[in-house]
Amino acid sequence: MSEVKAKKWFGQNFLKDSSVLEKIIQSMPHNDNIVVEIGPGLGDLTKRLLHKKDVIAFEIDKDLCNILQKKFKKEIEEKKLLLNCGDVLRFWENSLVDKPYDLVANLPYYVATNIILKALRDKNCKNILVMLQKEVAQKFAAKNGDKEFSSLAVLANSTGKVKKLFDVKPSSFEPPPKVTSSVLLIKKSTYLDERGFEDFLKVAFLATRKTLLKNLSKKYDKKELEKIFAQLNLLPNIRPHQATTSIYHRLYEILEKRKVDGEKPEPQSKPTTKE
Ligand code: SAM
């Protein structure tokens, strides 16, 4: 890599394989949303994104920002590209940008989970198409019953359709990462607006080998839980990865909403995320 030396601490593995870059572009949802790219790096993906859409980019590394400012001088002047130099997390209030956007990025792996969770909570983020470490992508894309099914999968499922699209080998990058990567697509139809639900899932998935009942009894009354499990036709020995996303919403509603409202919830009420 002639232009600049990769900084490991910023998770810099530059994607150089043009067939993979093309596959990411082909996987983009068709709509009028602008694109947000986190970590444009040397701009290989950015260049292709700009052929399709206007882009708002966030790059933490000042050296790369200087390179990008020169490389995309014309696009910046034409306002096709808005380049923000700094840590994306510092820009992220409730929404990262003030209009509907799709996040398309080869993410820095050290902060990928945190970025995806923020994007799931962000009302303006409509779709997420990102490259990240394969194991983490599997956690988001797992189906209930899979051993990888985790709170991350429940949260992603709660916002829309989740799919791991394809794997990418280390040799597609410069320098090559130690792990295989995957491209993940989350087509959002809603957003996460209840931090209480996220906290509830932490308790539910406390120990993945223990039963869901045992995990939940760390916070809730066991007798009460047994009654609710029977009411929902849940076996008392069900493990956290075996329950469905809608069961988690029902349990949360019964256990937490009842506390707030002081009354019994309706048996068929909807999940707690907004449409
Ligand atoms: N998009 C480029 C590509 O595909 O070759 C680079 C991807 S590289 C895996 C991750 C990029 O994210 C790097 O350019 C890195 O400097 C940047 N980055 C790391 N942490 C960041 C943060 N907190 N905010 C914004 N950019 C960040």
Query: Which atom of ligand 1 lies at the shortest distance from residue 21's CA?
Result: 4
Distance between CA atoms of residues 179 and 183, nearest Å: 13
Express each pLDDT in 188-201 by its tens digit: 999 999 999 999 99
The CATH H-level superfamily of 195-256 is rRNA adenine dimethylase, C-terminal domain (1.10.8.100)
Distance (Å, whole) CA 66 – CA 247: 49
175: preceding bond cis by omega (within 30 degrees):
yes
| Cα 249 to the center of its chain, rounded Å | 19
**Best of 44, 59, 64, 114 for a ligand 1 pocket test (most atoms within 8 Å of beta carbon):** 59
Tens digit of each residue's pLDDT (9 = 90 or more) over 13-72: 999 999 999 999 999 999 999 999 999 999 999 999 999 999 999 999 999 999 999 999
Nearest Cα to 59, choosing from 75, 31, 82? 82
> Which of 114 and 262 is assigned the larger pLDDT?
114
- The residue behind tokens 């398309």 is 104
Q: Measured from the CA of 173, which atom of ligand 1 is nearest?
A: 5
* pLDDT of 269: 41
* Structural domain 8-188, CATH architecture: 3-Layer(aba) Sandwich (3.40)
The residues spanned by each domain of the chain are: 8-188, 195-256
In this predicted model, what pLDDT tens digit does every residue of 138-159 receive, in sequence order? 999 999 999 999 999 999 999 9
Whether residue 84 contacts residue 56, with contact meaning beta carbons closer than 8 Å, is answered with yes
Distance CA 46, CA 120 (A): 22
Among 131, 162, 130, which Cα is nearest to 146's? 162
Tell whether pTM > 0.85.
yes
Which of the listed residues 12, 18, 85 should we mutate to test ligand 1's pocket, taking the one with most ligand atoms within 8 A of CB? 12
The H or E element that residue 88 is part of is helix 88-91
